[in-house]
Structure 1
Amino acid sequence: MPAEKTIDMAISELKAAIGGLESAVDARIERQREAQDAEGEVRRVHADRARLAQELDQSQFRANRLEEVNREVSRRLVTAMETIRAVLDR
């Protein structure tokens, strides 16, 4: 019977080892899944950042253009007011 106990103990240890291995594999798969999720999130954040940077550049360009147009309109108004004053002063 000692041989049977030894075989039973070996089988129990093997089952425990297989259970531990399965747990380790499951944990590894979960970590990989989480890593892939994190990588996907990082890619989305980078894409959002690039899109926002482009929108900011476009907005800055528009703001600069509006500022130029505003200066031109202001200059033309001053010219028009000076012309009107000159006409009224005659």
Structure 2
Amino acid sequence: MPSEKTIDMVISELRAAIGGLESAVDARIERQRETQDVEGEVRRVHADRARLAQELDQSQFRANRLEEVNREVSRRLVTAMETIRAVLDR
């Protein structure tokens, strides 16, 4: 009988160890899955940042171009007003 109890105890301990190992493997797989999710999110954030940076550059270019056009229009308006004043003064 004592040897049967010992075998039963060993089998029970082995089952408990296997259960603990399975739990550890499951936890590891879950952490790896979460890490992959985070890495995917980081990639999406970087892609969004790159897209937004490009859009910002394009917007800045358009704003600069509009400033140049605005200065040219202002210059032409001043020239036209001076021409009109000169004609009226005659």
TM range (shorter): over 0.9
Deviations 1:2-49 (A, max 9, x none): 110000000000000000000000000000000000000000000000
The 5 Å alignment of 1:21-60 reads 21-60=21-60
| Aligned-residue offset at 1:65 | 0.3
TM-score (norm 2): 0.99
The sequence identity of aligned pairs, in percent, is 94
Structure 1 outlier segments of 4+, above 6 Å: none
User: Deviation digits for residues 30-84 of structure 1, max 9, x if unmatched?
Assistant: 0000000000000000000000000000000000000000000000000000000
1:1-90 correspondence runs (5 A): 1-90=1-90
For structure 1, the residue ranges without an aligned partner over 5 or more in a row are none
Q: Which runs of 5+ in 2 are unaligned?
A: none
- Supply the distance in 1 between the matched residues of 2:10 and 2:89 (Cα, whole angstroms): 116
Aligned length: 90
State TM-score, norm by structure 1: 0.99
Q: Please give the root-mean-square deviation of Cα atoms over the aligned residues, in Å.
A: 0.3
- Partners of 2:49 and 2:89 in 1: CA distance: 59
Q: What SS does the aligned partner of 2:14 have?
A: helix
